[in-house]
Amino acid sequence: MKKAVSCAVAAMMAVTALAGCSSAAPNVSAASKGGEKTTIKVWTINRHDQDYMKAAIEKFNKENKDNIVADYQVYAENFNQSLDIALSTNEGPDVFFDGGTAYTDHLPKGDLAPLDKYLTDSYKKRFGEGVFIEGINMQDGKIYSLPAIGTTPRLFYNKYIFAKAGIANPPATLDEMAADAKLITEKLKKDGIYGFAANLKSPTSALSRSLDYILMRSGGVESGYDFKTGKYDFSSYKPILNAYRDMFVSGAFFPGSISLDIDPLRTQFAAGKIGMYISWTHSEPGVYQNQFPTKEEWDVAPLPTVEKDVKGTQHINLAGRWFLMNAKSKHPDQAWKVMEYLYSDEVLAGYHEQGLGMVMVPSVVAKAKKPDFIQKWPNLEFNDKDQVWPPVPTAVKPEGNDMYFSMTAVITGSTDADKVIADLNTRYNAALDKAVADGKTKRIQYPDFNPASPSKSLAK
């Protein structure tokens, strides 16, 4: 039976590697020299950086003095499925990319190796303060991954549209954003131009990248969860929901936003039909250079806040984890050597300079040349208002519609904010209590949590 499963895994790996068009085979010629080599398998989901990473791995294979050959494979199409099968049959890679869910999927199964024995205090210091966090890259005080890259939302706006509408600067507050969106629409609707857009076809995608981060930056909660009390409290969403409702009901939203996906939104922005929208720092520059090239002059601004003063910070998404080590690796020390190289200033500096990802490691950022897109759009760069926040409790499954679906009903004018907020508070706290009672999650509470400096209450 195991042999049959092993064959299935091998077949899937072969098919997936071909589908991804991205296999990087071991350096066989190097492996034949200087005695027996140890092969360390490395898997990733990323296709966008494969040329750079393959070159870096080839350099490692040629120059390392530890008789290690890193076999770097890209599984762009079926990464999670391939990883699940491989790890369950003890045929998994020695090192693998988080891929967004690998940490949360495989830590409970015991598939991940803690890295603490390799991490000296001086080595950890290069990653900065407040980046080793329970639920992000730590569990029960043990470190399972290290930070490397991240992303966070910004306001993307069309400079020509703003100028044509007589608006000198991007909005700093929610009220200004709503007023600007309505003014743009009032003056330019005749040309098919509208003030604001959101990809409301997917409420979670649209609102988790906007409402949540506006609220964190304003000094509020994360995804409705109050870390001080260890309970859900959606009351601070009210002014944001009302501002969005004002834009939508007044007609300042791009027509059809309720059924708009992110790429169709981007095509309209590239065509000069949308004044502004909110999205991720890592994705939009490449979108308008490669996917939807545009001659429109656009720029980037910080997210607006509820009040003029910025009272909080916003979470750096994807931060804290990059690569993980297989707990069942037969060569953990050699696997760490490969991980250490992948996290080196040399590799990450080149990664940053080529614009392959927003590197957040201080030792790298201090010496790396700023990529062209940051030089052109400085507000894409991380600053002191971008920090790592703790995770909210997992396995919280409220009955009925989720928070983003419910909030969309407020935005479109179908119901009012107070009613939805009260309902969300009731349903989410009931679901949290049940998940805690069932042992499916833990109540996360930091009584001294400060949204302006989360690292002070989270640093390990």
In terms of Cα–Cα distance, which of 136, 96, 74, 92 is closest to 342? 96
The answer to whether residue 367 scores a pLDDT higher than 90 is yes
- CATH number for the region 38-149+318-376 comes to 3.40.190.10
CB 284 within 8 A of CB 358: no
Q: What percent of the chain has pLDDT over 70?
A: 92
User: Which pLDDT tens digit goes with each residue over 138-153?
Assistant: 999 999 999 999 999 9
CB 117 within 8 A of CB 286: no
Out of 3.40.50.1980, 3.40.190.10, 3.30.2000.10, 3.40.50.300, select the CATH number for domain 153-315+393-457. 3.40.190.10
User: Which pLDDT tens digit goes with each residue over 299-317?
Assistant: 999 999 999 999 999 999 9
The answer to whether residue 14 scores a pLDDT higher than 60 is no
Cα separation, 206 vs 221, in Å, equals 18
CB 127 within 8 A of CB 362: yes
Residue 320: what are its φ and ψ, rounded to 5°?
100, -30
pLDDT given for residue 26 in this prediction: 38
Q: Are strands 231-232 and 314-315 parallel, antiparallel or unpaired?
A: unpaired
Give kind and range of the element (H or E) at residue 74.
strand 68-74
Alpha carbon 12 to its chain's center = 28
User: Which pLDDT tens digit goes with each residue over 269-286?
Assistant: 999 999 999 999 989 998
Domain boundaries, the chain: 38-149+318-376, 153-315+393-457
CA distances for 259 relative to 256, 264, 285, 373, 408, angstroms: 6, 10, 24, 31, 12
Mean pLDDT of all residues in 162-172: 99
38-149+318-376 shares its CATH topology with 153-315+393-457: yes
CA distances for 241 relative to 237, 399, 411, 417, angstroms: 6, 22, 6, 7
